[in-house]
């Protein structure tokens, strides 16, 4: 299977929804509680901070803005390199350093190469929910012994780096281009399922709600160490599955050593 993510053109439906962001922001400022409900923005969470803004990060930022969230984008090359993306997203988006994005975040998304995990800011993410989208590809990331012998997972590596954060594995088994095309309203037959895996019940539920808001049926799993069930080469990885089918794929997953 080719590595996730892939480049992704932006569909008109998302751009149309983004066009109304200014009105949503004004309404939220005047009537925050009403607009949290009207726009789907979770109470107490209005800003999503991105550590990394590549294929997956930029697509999730588009989804977030389309649903009324503010986003703070960052990467390793500096805020100035994100000017085009910020311009596309408009008034709901700004670029910053990783530390600034982490500090501004009500919820953070870490979507960086595994080699960059040691550079993820620790202190500004303390106590916060942090979504991990990473996958391990030795040909890209270099060999990591603890992942090769399966004594840990990518999400646990991030959790070890962020000991007081609440890490949730999500958005790692869908192609970037599909994030803005595959979402459907709740109750739609055949709606696609995506995982939310964490050892923290509250954090997992929070990300599950975000998945639902973004158009996907959440499939919750615990603890965080179970993230191997949706790593590369497992049955559900990269496949379009309903929630029921995805649960079956998770149950059928095998460790590399058992394949």
Q: Report yes or no on 193 lying in a domain.
A: no
Domain hosting residue 31, numbered range = 12-187
pLDDT for the residue 26? 40
What whole-number distance in Å separates Cα of residue 238 and Cα of residue 224?
A: 19
Q: Is residue 41 part of a domain?
A: yes
- Tally of domains within the chain: 1
Q: Which residues of the chain have pLDDT under 70?
A: 1-45
Q: Which residues pair with 94 in a beta bridge?
A: 72
Extract the runs of DSSP E, i.e. beta strands, from the chain. 47-51, 70-74, 93-95, 107-110, 129-132, 166-169, 193-197, 217-221
pLDDT at residue 38, rounded to an integer: 32
> What pLDDT is attached to residue 64?
97
In tens, the pLDDT along 203-221 reads 999 999 999 999 999 999 9
The verdict on residue 147 lying in a domain is yes
231 inside domain: no
Report d(CA 259, CA 255) in Å as an integer.
6
Q: Is residue 152 part of a domain?
A: yes
Residue 167 belongs to some domain of the structure: yes
Q: How many angstroms separate the first and last alpha carbons of the chain? A: 15
Whether 198 is covered by a domain: the verdict is no
CATH number at residue 92: 3.40.50.720
* 194: in domain: no
Q: Look up the pTM and report it.
A: 0.84
């Amino acid at each position: 299977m080719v590595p996730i993510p892939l480049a992704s053109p932006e569909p008109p439906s998302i751009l149309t929804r983004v066009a109304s962001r200014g009105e949503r922001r004004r309404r939220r400022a005047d009537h925050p509680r009403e607009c949290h409900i009207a726009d789907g923005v979770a109470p107490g969470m209005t800003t999503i901070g991105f550590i990394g803004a590549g294929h997956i990060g930029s697509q999730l930022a588009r989804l977030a803005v389309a649903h009324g969230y503010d986003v703070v984008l960052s990467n390793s090359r500096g805020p100035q390199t994100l000017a085009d993306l910020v311009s596309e997203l408009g008034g709901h988006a700004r670029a910053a350093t990783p530390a600034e994005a982490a500090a501004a975040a009500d919820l953070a998304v870490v979507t960086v190469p595994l080699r960059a995990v040691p550079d993820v800011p620790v202190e500004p993410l303390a106590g916060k929910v942090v979504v991990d989208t990473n996958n391990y590809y030795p040909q890209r990331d270099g060999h990591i012994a603890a992942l090769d012998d399966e004594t840990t997972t990518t999400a646990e590596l991030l959790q070890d780096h962020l000991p007081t954060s609440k890490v949730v594995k999500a958005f790692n088994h869908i192609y970037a281009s599909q994030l803005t095309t595959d979402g459907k309203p709740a109750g739609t037959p055949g709606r696609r399922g995506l995982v939310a895996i964490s050892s923290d019940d509250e954090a997992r539920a929070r990300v599950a709600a975000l998945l639902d808001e973004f158009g996907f049926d959440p499939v919750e799993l615990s603890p965080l160490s179970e993230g191997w069930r949706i790593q590369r080469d497992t049955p559900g990885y990269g496949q379009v599955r309903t929630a029921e089918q995805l649960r079956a794929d998770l149950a059928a997953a095998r460790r590399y050593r058992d394949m």
